[in-house]
Chains A and B, each alone.
Chain A
Amino acid sequence: MVMNCHRVQNLISAYVDGELPGVEMLAVRQHISDCGDCKSEFESILLVKRSISCLAPKCPSTDLAASICMKLSESGTSMESGILYAVKRHLSGVSGGLRLVGVAAGLLVAMTLVGRSGTHTTPLIYSPTASSMLVRSMDESDPVKMFSMHNGNRTQVFRPRQVNMPMSDDWGVGVVTPVSMTNWNGCQVAAGH
């Protein structure tokens, strides 16, 4: 392949970047070795490229990473797809009727739920000293989003959807009360369920 100066000069940047196919690359190389003008063009473009490449990296202020992470927390931004829980759930089928299940002793109940961005971003926060807890967010796309709180007498199982709704006996909404390990005495199915 033989190239004229006009064509070579259009290919100079790609040649400098090593982005030409082999045949073209060899043709450009051959031309440059024979042609003074094109050789100058090549050398000046190469110098520009190398000058930019050799620029010393600019460093940010030392707390930029921390600042970014803090802004992520403050902004309430959450991911738009994929809701995550700090909870692993295991479901196992139970044949037959109701069953009383003992609860492992020595543990407090706490759960977190992270809501979808834009509407429910405040996580559910459990405080062992609070007398009530507000249910703030749920992910409505998740089919199993129910949890239970034990108030010392019975266990309520429900799927809250809204903030600070009064306790009701159906699956709808509720304000949960915290459980302390010292008064846990097992659980039973809430009435009606």
Chain B
Amino acid sequence: MELFVSMLRIVLRRRIVVVELSKTVSVPYQNEDRRVFDQLVQKHHKQAYNVAYRMTGNHADAEDLTQDTFLKAYRFFGNYRRDMPFENWLFRIMSNMFVDWLRRRPKAQIRSLDEPIRQEEGETTLDVPDTGDGPEALVLSYELDSELQAALNTLPNDFRIAVILSDIEGLSYEEISEVMGSSIGTVRSRLHRGRKLLRERLKPYLE
């Protein structure tokens, strides 16, 4: 079905309604906000997937969580007040959906970790933090991805989300508090306790 450009003048009682369609399209409807949103999907889906993977620990759940997050974000796009970066707003939605997802899962379920997903040629980049890395950290991350992910998986969800937002996405405490809806003091506590738990889990590898 095609829509055609039209200019139409209609006499309407004592008013003239001029109806002007913007352009020829071959989709059922044209929606400026939808176009904007699709661009946001293109721009942020990889970043969102990475966060979803680190939250859920496996590819299939990460893709589901990513899709569900964007669907919900689209539905509530009208509520996005641009008072925080889009990705932070998206992370807030994703964090809440992740917590719900965790609650719905049977507690006894054990998920096996994926093999690292194939990465496209030339895209193996290490996310290097500003503070500069010792070679230790780089080696650990490169060789122990599965073990690090397994350690993340054991964290209580609030600690896990805080660590991911801070150390993978580089959000400030203030940003994390906005995303998670908690005080900065709570963010600080979650990060500190989360890292101490990770340190315990990773002890065999750190020595």
- Give the interface of A toward B (CB within 8 A): 10, 12-14, 17, 19, 44-61, 64-65, 67-69, 71-72, 75, 77-82, 84, 86-104, 107-112, 114, 117, 123, 125-128, 144, 146-148, 155, 157, 187-189, 193
Contact = CB atoms under 8 A, between A and B. Distances in A.
28 contacts: A14-B191, A45-B199, A48-B195, A49-B195, A53-B127, A54-B138, A55-B54, A57-B46, A57-B50, A58-B50, A59-B46, A65-B41, A69-B38, A72-B34, A72-B71, A86-B21, A86-B29, A87-B20, A89-B19, A94-B15, A111-B21, A112-B3, A117-B75, A126-B3, A128-B2, A147-B10, A155-B11, A187-B11
B46 A79 contact: no
Interface string B125-153: 11111010110111011101100110010
Contact of B188 (A13, A80, A146): A13
Nearest to B174: A19
Contacts, number: 280
Contacts of B12: 146, 148, 157, 193
B4 A80 contact: no
A46 B22 CA distance: 56
B131 to A, nearest CB: 7
Given A86-B21, A87-B21, 16 more contacts: A52-B168, A54-B133, A55-B148, A56-B125, A58-B49, A67-B67, A75-B71, A91-B16, A93-B14, A94-B15, A101-B16, A104-B8, A108-B4, A125-B1, A127-B1, A128-B2
B11 A82 contact: no
A157 B12 CA distance: 7
B127 A55 contact: yes
A17 B166 contact: yes
- For A48, A88, A90, A97, which residue has the most chain B Cβ atoms within 10 angstroms? A48
A101 B117 contact: no
Binding site secondary structure of chain A = loop
Contact of B202 (A17, A51, A89): A51
B6 A109 contact: yes
B102 to A, nearest CB: 19
Contacts of A57: 46, 50, 125, 127
Contact of A157 (B10, B125, B128, B164): B10
Contacts of B138: 54
A123 B28 contact: yes
B86 interface: no
Nearest to A107: B6
Contact of A44 (B21, B71, B133, B199): B199
A68 B137 contact: no
Contacts of A72: 34, 37-38, 70-71, 74
Contacts of B15: 91-94
Contacts of A64: 45-46, 49, 63, 66-67
